[in-house]
Amino acid sequence: MKLRLIAAILGLTFATAIMAGKQDVTVVNKTGKPIHHVYISEEKTDDWEEDILGDDVLQAGASVKVTFDNNSDSCIWDFKAVDAEGKEYLLMKANLCQLSTINIK
């Protein structure tokens, strides 16, 4: 089961992406710490999907572009990022049809 939204939530930046697919989003690390895991799953799913970073680390100030499969028409997604110390940053029910950037802070 997914964790409840905790005090450290992801900040949102509303912007329009001109060439992106309807759910494509850029995730920006504004925590000041390296992020070791980023999970994105559809809101209606009961478990987190695979870590989109794999073996990579999202350094402080860096960003990663997430491109969604054209077969997905869902707009509502949940995010979880985990830093090197195990601190979790959660954002539940993000409407990716209206967002193009998510700031982890």
pLDDT value of position 70 = 62
Per-residue pLDDT of the chain (105 residues; tens, 9 = 90+): 343 333 333 444 333 334 445 789 999 999 999 999 999 999 988 899 889 999 999 999 999 999 887 667 789 999 999 999 999 999 999 999 999 999 999
Q: Say if CB 26 and CB 66 are below 8 A apart.
A: yes
Written as six digits, the tokens of 45 are 């799913």
CATH of 11-104, one of 2.60.40.2890, 2.60.40.10, 3.40.50.10800, 3.30.365.10: 2.60.40.2890
Could you give the dihedral angle defined by the CA atoms of residues 20, 58, 78 and 100, in that order, rounded to the nearest 10 degrees? -30
Task: List, in sequence order, every residue forming a beta bridge with 70; answer none if it has no partner.
Answer: none
- Helix, strand, coil percent values for the chain (each to nearest 5): 0, 40, 60
Contacts of 5 by beta carbon, 8 Å cutoff, 6+ apart: 90, 91, 92
Map residue 6 onto helix, strand or coil: coil
Of 87, 78, 89, 66, nearest to 10 by C-alpha is 89
Helix (H, G, I), strand (E, B) or coil at 42: strand
* The predicted structure's pLDDT at residue 63: 97
Whether the pTM exceeds 0.85: the reply is no
- Taking the domains of the chain in order of start, what are their residue ranges? 11-104
**pLDDT score, position 32:** 95
